[in-house]
């Protein structure tokens, strides 16, 4: 579980660094902006997948512990 949160914190930092820019609020979207949005979307999807996997593994382990008793 600690590894998952470490990976997720790294993903949050990367997302913040990618998403922050000092561009004006009104501008034309270019291909680089679209690529950055795709990268952020992929990072968010991976984070959700990792959290779901960690939660399922935790539930399976809890079920196994309960079954042993």
| 6-41 pLDDT per residue, tens | 777 787 777 777 766 666 555 667 888 788 888 888
- The two three-digit tokens of residue 10, written as one number: 């790294």
Which sign does the torsion angle of CA 42, 47, 50, 51 carry?
negative
Contact between 8 and 51 under an 8 Å Cβ cutoff? The reply is: yes
Look at 27-31, 34-38, 48-52, 63-67 and tell me which has the smallest mean pLDDT: 27-31
What pLDDT was estimated at residue 6? 79
pLDDT reading at 65 higher than 80: yes
Contact between 52 and 4 under an 8 Å Cβ cutoff? The reply is: no
How far apart CA 61 and CA 67 sit, in angstroms, is 10
């Amino acid at each position: 579980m600690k590894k998952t949160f470490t990976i997720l914190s790294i993903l949050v930092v990367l997302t913040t660094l990618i998403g922050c820019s000092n561009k004006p609020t009104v501008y034309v979207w270019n291909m680089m902006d679209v690529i950055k949005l795709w990268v952020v979307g992929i990072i968010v999807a991976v984070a959700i997948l990792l959290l779901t996997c960690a939660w399922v593994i935790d539930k399976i382990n809890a079920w196994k512990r309960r079954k042993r008793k």
